[in-house]
Chain A
Amino acid sequence: MSVATATRQESLAATWSPQWIIQRFQRALLHVAVVGLTLVWIVPTVGLLVSSFRPAFRIITTGWWTAFSPPFDFTMQNYSDMLDQSNLGQALFNSFMVSIPSTVIPVTVAAFAAYAFAWMKFPLRDWIFLGFVGLLAVPLQLTFVPVLTFFVQHGIVPDNLTNLGLPPWVGLWLAHAGYGLPFSTYLLANFFRGLPSDLFESAEIDGAGTLTVFFRIILPLSVPALASLVIFQFLWVWNDLLVALIYVGGAPEVGPLTVNLAGLTNSLGQGFNLLTAAAFFSMIVPLIVFLSLQRYFVRGILAGSVKG
């Protein structure tokens, strides 16, 4: 329900009439539910945030809520220890270099494929599509050995790629693309399928080619789906540790932030107090991505595109 509709409905009822009171009560109930649920949901995050400003020994011996009673023992030590590492800047850069192409490639390739699955006819189409969905279930751990063997045999390893003048992450990009494609294609194909067919028919009658339909009609109409997909793929890649470790290893020149932070917690032994600070540090970029893409989730993107 849009805000405008809600206000209009409310104004229909006279002030203090029983109907008006019921509507007011329902609105209040809605706000209580929304705020209440959200507050419960953020308790673990708040606990983590508070813990990240507490000394390690207090985190283990007392609950995070006791921080708000004397002796108010807060510290920036966890953050400064984490930021003090020598190659955090390089790791952050590597994370961008890994995450951006590993998001762009699967989302674009999936959009191409989803267009074909949704609006073209070809032999075995439904079975191939089902195959894509089924491959969602392949545990990634199983694919590492065969894929890595192939990469090593064909020189798709960081050192060799750097010698060829290519970015050392090419193999990792392709791997992330392969792993992200089943979900991306599945989501987008279902979204494209749901677009009204009259749109394409009228465009084709007007003489639009396949490329025009795809770039001028399908993509602009799918902005909410594309935005959500970009967010998820980016998050998964940004937070991935395992796939990066397997395909590029932990060397500081190529390792992303997760590799760096995992090394930090291991080498210092106690770990988790730094992990609390590290968790917030590595959350910054994904949250910026989410917040900046959120405005594309708007209602009525299809409104008025098809008449009748």
Chain B
Amino acid sequence: MDFSVLLSDIPTLLAVIIGVPLVLVAYIVGGEFLIRRLPDKNRPQVRPWLWVGPALVLVTGFLLLPAIATVIQSFESNAGAFVGLQNYGNQLADFPSGGAWTAIRNNIIIWLIFYTLFVLAFGLVLAVLFDRVRYETVVKSLIFMPMAISSVALGVIWKFMYSYQPPGEPQTGTMNAVVTFFHHDPVAWLQDQWPNGWGVLNNLALVGAATWGITGFAMVILSAALKGIPGELLEAARVDGAGELTVFRRVIFPLMMPTIVVVGTTLVIFALKAFDVVYVMTNGNYGTDVLAFRMYNYLYLSHNYAAASAVAVILLVAVVPVLIFNLRQFRAVEARR
């Protein structure tokens, strides 16, 4: 391995490290300088746009406009002719096993519910437990480690964890080694669509791998929120004779609620967008298809943009209830202020 490039290019690296933040700070300081030149009554009207402006431009360019193009595309054929709801009709035909229904079932029922619940529960439990021990830094880093692994490597690790050999053969997968240790037949975790082809088992196996990878994320944010609760408040509750469970239920949990909503919302959206684990581990086979993977296949394998757009819009629509819930939350916070 040749590190000379690293050394010779250090000036470039430094220029970027200093230059980029400098441009950003110059923008906001310069902007404020100009706003102060404005008449008093115009300032409050102009100022917010200075602050949200760069974010609006970037998000509009990279996400909003492509999203609008997708919605338009979803009502057109690949040749560009308006076809109404036909693309959706193709996706939603043949309930319950045809079209996109398997992907919808996996996304909305298995991924959305279990992934979100598992990650939130683990993240919260770990954050609260770790907060009470002196070696918090060590255990937190260990739980966080999977976050630093790329999604492809994560898929490979869990393929090994779940790998299956016929009964009687020595097992190479950790999960089956444990299962056979307890004298149970080895389980084909990724193929077994238990019960009755409903695909709960193998989809949960995928959810498990994804949960392992992302729990560090929930734990770190929830832990940061936990640290934000003033220590005096907790002590006061304890001095008043509240037990640890009561302190958690009545003080910690309500104060962390806004953060739990943020993490929960993000996880719901991650669950709907689940892609990497499915792509690497099962390639959507054995009834483990998900919407993002289905869309990817239309886009890059069959070049069927119309169908891909319809699938993406179904995914976007699934987020609407989450948005309504969030809107209520802001309103509630706003009302309390």
Contacts and interface: CB of A to CB of B under 8 A. Distances in A.
Interface in A163-222: 167, 173-175, 177-179, 181-183, 185-187, 190, 193-194, 197, 209-211
A109 B300 CA distance: 32
B2 interface: yes
A21 interface: no
Chain A interface mostly: helix
Interface string A286-302: 11001100100111111
B337 interface: yes
Interface stretch (B88-96, B110-118, B198-206, B259-267): B259-267
Contacts of B85: none
Nearest to A115: B51
A63 B133 contact: no
B2 A87 contact: yes
B13 A142 contact: no
A179 B258 contact: no
Contacts of B16: 97, 100-101, 167
Contacts of A31: 133
A44 B174 contact: yes
Nearest to A41: B143
A152 to B, nearest CB: 15
Contacts of A177: 58, 62
Contact of B231 (A9, A65, A137, A299): A299
Contacts of B212: 41, 44
Contacts of B300: 141
B152 A275 contact: yes
A108 B64 contact: no
Interface in B60-110: 61-67, 69-70
Given A97-B12, A136-B269, A183-B266, A112 B51 contact: yes
Contacts of A125: 48
A187 B244 CA distance: 28
Given A6-B132, A121-B44, A141-B296, A258 B150 contact: yes
Contacts, number: 325
A282 interface: yes
A224 B67 CA distance: 32
Contacts of B330: 126, 129
Given A31-B133, A44-B158, A44-B161, A133 B24 contact: no
A295 to B, nearest CB: 8
Interface residues of A, number: 126
Contact of B142 (A38, A132, A167): A38
A37 B157 contact: no
A76 interface: no
B260 to A, nearest CB: 11
B296 A34 contact: no
Interface stretch (B187-195, B232-240, B281-289): B232-240
A2 B215 CA distance: 23
13 contacts: A30-B132, A45-B149, A86-B2, A100-B17, A126-B331, A142-B70, A186-B266, A190-B259, A190-B261, A224-B224, A272-B156, A279-B156, A299-B231
Interface of B: 1-6, 9, 12-13, 16-17, 20-21, 24-25, 28-29, 32, 36, 44-45, 47-49, 51-52, 54-56, 58-59, 61-67, 69-70, 125-126, 129-134, 137, 139-153, 156-158, 160-161, 170-174, 177, 212, 215, 217, 220-221, 223-224, 227-232, 234-235, 238, 244, 258-259, 261-262, 265-266, 269, 272-273, 275, 292, 295-296, 299-300, 308-309, 312, 315-316, 318-319, 322-323, 326-327, 330-331, 333, 337
Given A42-B145, A279-B149, 8 more contacts: A37-B129, A47-B174, A100-B16, A116-B52, A141-B296, A190-B261, A239-B148, A294-B141
